[in-house]
Structure formats: C-alpha cells, structure tokens
C-alpha cells in the first residue's frame, strides 16, 4: 500500500540533470502530510529494536526524512554538507564522481566515539556519497549502524558498495 502510493507519487523527470538520467523527484511526496508521516513511521518501524544513537542526513534531500526520523526517535540529527557550507570546524572527505571529485563535510565533535549512527539519504544510486558519509562517521569514532533511503536504484548496485560499512540497508522502494 505505502510502496504503491510512493511509486504513484514520485515523479520521473527524464534527462535531468543531464541526458540519459531519469531523475526520481520526491518533491510531490512533501506536499502530502499523511504520506510524510507514514514514511517516517515506516522507517522507525523497520528499525525495530536496532540501537541508534544518531542519524546523519546527507545534503540536501537527506535532511527531509532524516530529520523527521530523528525527531520521532528523539535522537540527534547531524548534517553532512557540501564543502564550505558548515560554519564550524569540520572533518571532510573527498570522493570520486563520474567526472572529477566532490567534497563533503560534517561538524567536528557531532558524533561521540562508539555511537551507532544511521545514515539517511533520499536515494541510493552508485553509493559514492554514502561511502563518503560513512568515512566521516568512522573518522569521528562512530560505528555505521546502517543506511536508510526512500528510493534505491538497484541496477546501479550501490548496496554492494556501501555494505562494507553496514549490511543494514533499508530502502522503502526499489527500481
Ligand atoms: P550516489 O552517490 O551515486 O549514490 O548518488 C546519490 C545522490 O545523488 C543522492 O543524494 C541523490 O539524491 C542523488 N541522485 C543520484 N541519482 C539520482 C536520480 N536518478 N534521481 C534523483 N536523485 C539522484
């Protein structure tokens, strides 16, 4: 039921941001309060009794349900942002893109040593961004407890890449 509603709500935008990419636009979900609540509840339900100390959300669409889930679980929410956006002292890591590299950052001291951290983004594609976020968690002494996504693009095999950090990967829908 939830899966079908999600599939009916997410919009495919062909050739965005460049030719050949089918962009999965989750913005119509945000216009539906009931659906947003159901998504947050489902993430929480699927975590079950898993011990989570904090949730890391990846800029920018990972902030949406990442923050709602953190509020529901009453856990700290920590931002991973593109380089140069966070005002305080940061840890950073660079990772490869199709062309060139990207750098992401997290505020130093946000994660305590030994914390079990769930990493959240709207969509798992190749997994490059999540691997970089996992590195930031580990650099701070955190343990990657798992990953959660609204959408996973199975054919890009991102799960294989991120599973070296945690085999707990919860995606609500798959394409
Ligand atoms: P990746 O590092 O390849 O797993 O890319 C993940 C990031 O890129 C996520 O933050 C997504 O929001 C975004 N992304 C990649 N591919 C798509 C797509 N087809 N539709 C929407 N967002 C995408």
- Burial (Cβ within 10 Å: 0-12, 13-18, ≥19) of residue 4: exposed
- The percent of residues above 90 in pLDDT, for the chain, comes to 98
Q: Does the CB atom of residue 24 touch ligand 1 within 6 A?
A: yes
Q: Does the CB atom of residue 64 touch ligand 1 within 6 A?
A: no
pLDDT per residue as tens digits for the range 129-150:
999 999 999 999 999 999 999 9
pLDDT per residue as tens digits for the range 104-136:
999 999 999 999 999 999 999 999 999 999 999
pLDDT of res. 131 = 98
pLDDT per residue as tens digits for the range 75-93:
999 999 999 999 999 999 9
Question: Domains of the chain (ranges plus CATH)?
Answer: 49-174 (3.40.50.2020)
What is the model's pTM?
0.98
| φ and ψ at residue 29, rounded to 5 degrees | -60, -40
Which residue puts its alpha carbon closest to atom 16 of ligand 1? 125
Which residue puts its alpha carbon closest to atom 12 of ligand 1? 123
The neighbouring-strand residues paired with 107 are 90
Q: Does the CB atom of residue 76 touch ligand 1 within 6 A?
A: no
161 is catalytic: no
Q: Does the CB atom of residue 128 touch ligand 1 within 6 A?
A: yes
105 is catalytic: no
- Burial (Cβ within 10 Å: 0-12, 13-18, ≥19) of residue 105: buried
Give the helix/strand (H/E) hosting 14. Answer: strand 11-14
pLDDT at 99 over 90: no
Atom of ligand 1 nearest to the CA of 24: 20
Higher pLDDT, 98 or 41: 41
CA–CA separation, 92 vs 102, rounded Å?
Answer: 10
Within 10 A of 99 (CB to CB), how many other CB atoms are there? 5
């Amino acid at each position: 039921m939830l899966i079908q509603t999600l599939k009916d709500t997410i919009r495919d935008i062909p050739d965005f941001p460049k030719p050949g990419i089918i962009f999965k636009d989750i913005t119509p979900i945000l216009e539906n309060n009931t659906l947003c609540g159901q998504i947050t509840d489902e993430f929480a339900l699927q975590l079950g009794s898993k011990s989570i100390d904090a949730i890391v959300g990846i800029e920018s669409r990972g902030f949406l349900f990442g923050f709602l889930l953190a509020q529901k679980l009453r856990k700290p929410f920590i931002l991973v942002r593109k380089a140069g956006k966070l005002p305080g002292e940061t840890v950073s890591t660079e990772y490869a893109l199709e062309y060139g590299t990207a750098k992401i950052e997290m505020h130093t001291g946000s994660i305590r040593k030994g914390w079990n951290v769930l990493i959240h983004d709207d969509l798992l594609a190749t997994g490059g961004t999540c691997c970089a976020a996992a590195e930031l968690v580990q650099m701070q002494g955190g343990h990657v407890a798992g990953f959660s996504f609204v959408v996973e693009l199975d054919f890009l095999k991102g799960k294989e890449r991120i599973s070296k950090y945690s085999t707990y990967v919860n995606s609500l829908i798959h394409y």
